[in-house]
Amino acid sequence: MTTILDGKKLRDKIFEDLKNKLDKMPVKPTLAVILAGDDPSSRIYVNNKKKCAEKLGINSIVIEYPSDVTEKEIIEKIQELNNDNKITAILVQLPLPKHIDKLKVIDTIAPQKDVDGLTTTNCGKLFAGEKPYVYPCTPKGILLLLDEYNIEIEGKHAVVIGRSNLVGKPVAQMLLNRNATVTMCHSHTKNLADIIKTADIVVSAVGKNVVGEKNIIKSDCVIVDVGIFRDESGKVRGDVENVSPAYLSPVPGGVGPMTIASLMLNTVELLSFA
Ligand code: NAP
């Protein structure tokens, strides 16, 4: 029988605790979100983040730019936010319009206001085994979910599929820092099925169905499905289908709610560096 790693339930618990904490705080954090371009999904994500922050008692502002905004304009705005004492957390909604250098923009954020934990300083700290100001939201949410279900990480073989800076690389490093033996897989991996066969934990962050009925998995395997995409019929799907591991995070309702919970946790944590 598969136990569902219920991200919604844990998110609600985290929100309840955070709300109580925020109610007692004399100074509230303020999250500034930069939204550039007209990607409809990005707009939905930003609205959700704003609504969520407001519900918990976190101040938030959204700074919007058209898709022809220049890199210079965004960078100057971030510099202004870095120097504004009222702003305690800064997030740049990705993807940015194609002509903008994403890494350059992210690296303009002061590391102590980098709520996504994606600046070179915060990533560098994570990879050096030091504590970053905050951990990247999705990987942090995944670890919180595994911990909530008392899933042992130390000494386990964790297979991470996908190597993005946003999810794959940081989650692999966080699992490694917790003493897992980590194998990273990507689109050039030749023997994915053989590797999955030996996994105690699988974290799949691809955006297409890569784990399915063709796969043999250990009966006590834990699978975290990060991927989310719409197929041709418009149905929302994850990377993982038709397998029965011991634990599985559903799509939707698994990692997605944990990402927003981590964002809110990070926003509050960063207040201590303001
Ligand atoms: P991404 O930048 O789109 O990269 C996808 C990764 O998957 C790449 O590393 C790619 O390998 C690898 N890949 C592609 N095809 C593969 C295959 N057949 N076998 C093995 N690996 C393959 O990734 P992302 O931004 O991390 O997003 C991944 C998925 O997670 C997306 O569906 C996204 O929507 C979802 N996501 C969900 C949340 C959430 O909160 N629920 C948060 C973030 C992302 P190469 O590097 O070789 O190209």
| C-alpha of residue 206 to centroid of ligand 1, in Å | 3
Which one of 48, 138, 186 would you pick to mutate in the ligand 1 pocket, going by the greatest count of ligand atoms within 8 A of its CB?
A: 186
- How much of the chain exceeds pLDDT 70, in percent? 100
Give the mean model confidence (pLDDT) for residues 109-132. 97
| pLDDT (0 to 100) of residue 15 | 98
* Token code pair at residue 144: 């919180």
Q: What is the pLDDT of residues 190-237, one digit of tens each?
A: 999 999 999 999 999 999 999 999 999 999 999 999 999 999 999 999
Residue 128's pLDDT is 96
Alpha-carbon distance of 5 to 7, in angstroms, equals 6
- Ligand 1 centroid – CA 244 distance (Å): 22
pTM: 0.97
Contact 103, 81 (CB under 8 A): no
Sketch out the chain's domains with CATH numbers. Answer: 26-110 (3.40.50.10860), 137-256 (3.40.50.720)
Q: What is the pLDDT of residue 178?
A: 97
Q: For 69-108, how does the pLDDT look when each residue is reduced to its tens digit (9 = 90+)? A: 999 999 999 999 999 999 999 999 999 999 999 999 999 9
In the structure, what pLDDT confidence band is assigned to residue 50 with cuts at 50, 70 and 90? very high
Burial class (CB in 10 A: 0-12, 13-18, 19+), 41: exposed
Averaged confidence pLDDT in the chain: 97
Q: What is the pLDDT of residue 97?
A: 97
Q: With a 6 A CB cut-off, is 166 part of the ligand 1 pocket?
A: yes
Of ligand 1's atoms, which has the minimum distance to the CA of residue 207? 32
Q: Which residues are catalytic?
A: 49, 93, 116
Predicted confidence at residue 55, as pLDDT, reads 96
Residue 118 φ then ψ, to 5°: -105, -5
Q: From the CB of 168, is ligand 1 less than 6 Å away?
A: yes
